[in-house]
Amino acid sequence: MAAGFSDPIWRKPQAATAFQSELSAGATLDVVIVGGGIMGLSTALHAARAGLSIQVLDAGLIGQGASGLNGGQVIPGLKYDPEWLIEHFGKERGEALVAFAAATADAVFDVIRDEKLAVPFTRNGWIQAAHTETALIAAANRDRQWRSRGADVKLLDRAEIAAMTGAKGYLGGWLDSRAGVIDPLSYTLELARVALAAGARIAEQQRVVKLRNEAGAWRVSTQGGAELRARSVVLATNAYTDGLLPGLAQTIVPLHSFQIATAPLPAELAASILPGGQAVSDSRRILVYYRRSPDGRMVLGGRGRMALPSSAADWAHCERALTRLYPALAGIAIEKRWFGRVALTPDHLPHLHEPEKGLLAVVGCQGRGVGLMSALGKRMAGYLATGDVSQLPFPLSPIRPIPFHAFRQVGVAAAITWYRMLDAFER
Ligand SMILES: Cc1cc2nc3c(=O)[nH]c(=O)nc-3n(C[C@H](O)[C@H](O)[C@H](O)COP(=O)(O)OP(=O)(O)OC[C@H]3O[C@@H](n4cnc5c(N)ncnc54)[C@H](O)[C@@H]3O)c2cc1C
């Protein structure tokens, strides 16, 4: 990541290596987890609680991946609504998936409560803000489907959304009260702390470079020359997937999401901007998402260019979006800028793979992984502990690299430019 632009952490500088368990080459572990983000750490915590011996290895520092860098929006559900899931996956798996998707935000708030995590959070809901009639119709459809299943959701009219967000330009929207906001870095570091306390080992700056199956156990080699043995390996590398498992990186399209944080807002402005503390994502093709931070800043994010940023100008689209929504913030300083990677899959669903027995991989957070990966980690731990594949909400699928993967990236960049133009016309 580009120096100076990768640090979302304005309250809590990270120690150089807070997690440095000794790598033991002796006994065969139950599980080595590659990647210490929310997916890897949630798996580690629940698997350690189930009595498994766990080693987490991360190539960088805990929280330096998407998990520490994200927008902190804890949103239940998947990209698809319940009726689509049931139609696509059939009644039994579809209904199970809907129940799983409905509870992904609970997975976060339950672990914060049960494990007493020191994480700033609010749970006052998430607003999907509609800026066109088409988006309003989609919101009404989503509302009907979730409300008929008893979810605490409601449609917002123009006056309600204006009062709740203080933002300009929305026709209405949808409030999902199951959702909330966390401080993402605190959450990730706290997950690591309690996973460690539950018995998992965690080592930072340990890139895994080779996996070999030897007589039914996996031999895991790190860049530094350490060798571990484990019955199972879980790749929880998501958008930061490298060439460790051939073909896996080619199953996703990694995209950059850029964020800015203002200086803490003065009281007179703060009173009218998201007074209820909800998170917001809007309905544009290239959506922006925003929230207030616990220390009173406005934090806003959106898609960014794939080349590494080189100056503050690379975040100009976020600043424009902020002042379009909140003209009164025009004079407020932008104090922080950072970015991270999200992983898209062609079908917009997370993919779970087990190409060989005991070798598991999870990719494809679609930019909405805080709840999803917390919940999936718990299910993955259940699978590791019992071998019961019904613990996994999504089917295990073969690794299918996207054809012409290198060109897909260029295509996505072109599509983003095109969609930005369309969004601008709809203003
Ligand atoms: C800017 C941004 C904003 C976002 N906003 C939201 C949001 O508001 N709400 C939401 O729900 N989701 C959001 N997301 C998505 C969410 O952050 C991710 O879905 C989630 O954090 C993924 O967690 P993870 O554990 O799967 O991956 P990560 O947290 O990315 O962890 C993967 C880890 O794998 C490690 N790794 C990779 N290769 C190796 C290797 N060979 N050896 C060892 N380690 C390796 C990396 O170092 C990394 O730490 C956002 C993402 C970004 C980037």
15 CB burial (10 A radius; 0-12, 13-18, 19+): exposed
Q: Domain for residue 8, yes or no?
A: no
User: Does residue 112 form part of some domain?
Assistant: yes
Cα 78 to Cα 368: distance, rounded to the nearest angstrom: 8
Residue type, 322: L
Mutate which of 209, 341, 342 for ligand 1 pocket (most atoms within 8 A of beta carbon): 342
- Residue 312 falls inside a structural domain: yes
What is the rounded CA–CA span in Å between residue 191 and residue 206?
Answer: 19
Question: Is the minimum distance from the CB of 299 to ligand 1 under 6 angstroms?
Answer: no
Instruction: For residue 337, give the amino acid letter.
Output: R
For ligand 1, atom 32: residue with the closest CA: 237
The total number of structural domains that make up the chain: 1
The rounded distance, in Å, linking the Cα atoms of 302 and 260 is: 9
- Would you say residue 339 lies in a domain? yes
Whether the CB of 253 sits within 6 Å of ligand 1: no
Domain interval for residue 222 = 29-391
- And the tokens for 301? 């994010």
Evaluate: CB of 33 within 6 angstroms of ligand 1. no
Q: Is the CB of 59 under 6 A from ligand 1?
A: yes
Residue 12 lies in a domain: no
- Asked if the structure places residue 255 within a domain, the reply is yes
Most distant pair of Cα atoms in the chain: their distance: 67
The tokens for 392 are 């996994």
- Residues 236 and 39: their CA atoms lie apart, in Å, by 6
CATH of the domain at 307: 3.50.50.60
The CB of 58 under 6 Å from ligand 1? The reply is yes
Measured CA to CA, the distance from residue 62 to residue 191 in angstroms comes to 10
Ligand 1 lined by 238 (C-beta under 6 Å): yes
Question: Given ligand 1 and candidates 122, 176, 240, 281, which is best to mutate, with the most ligand atoms within 8 Å of its CB?
Answer: 240
**pLDDT tens sequence for the chain (427 residues):** 333 343 444 434 455 567 888 887 788 999 999 999 999 999 999 999 999 999 999 999 999 999 999 999 999 999 899 999 999 999 999 999 999 999 999 999 999 999 999 999 999 999 999 999 999 999 999 999 999 999 999 999 999 999 999 998 999 999 999 999 999 999 999 999 999 999 999 999 999 999 999 988 999 999 999 999 999 999 999 999 999 999 999 999 999 999 999 999 999 999 999 999 999 999 876 689 999 998 899 999 998 877 888 889 999 999 999 999 999 999 999 999 999 999 999 899 999 999 999 999 999 988 899 999 999 999 999 999 999 999 999 999 999 998 877 766 666 656 655 555 455 545 4
Nearest alpha carbon, ligand 1 atom 52? 70
At residue 364, the pLDDT reads: 94
CA of 366 to the centre of ligand 1 (A): 10
> Is residue 380 lining ligand 1, measured as CB closer than 6 Å?
no
Q: Per the domain annotation, does 199 fall within a domain? A: yes
Q: Is residue 1 part of a domain?
A: no
Q: Is the CB of 242 under 6 A from ligand 1?
A: yes
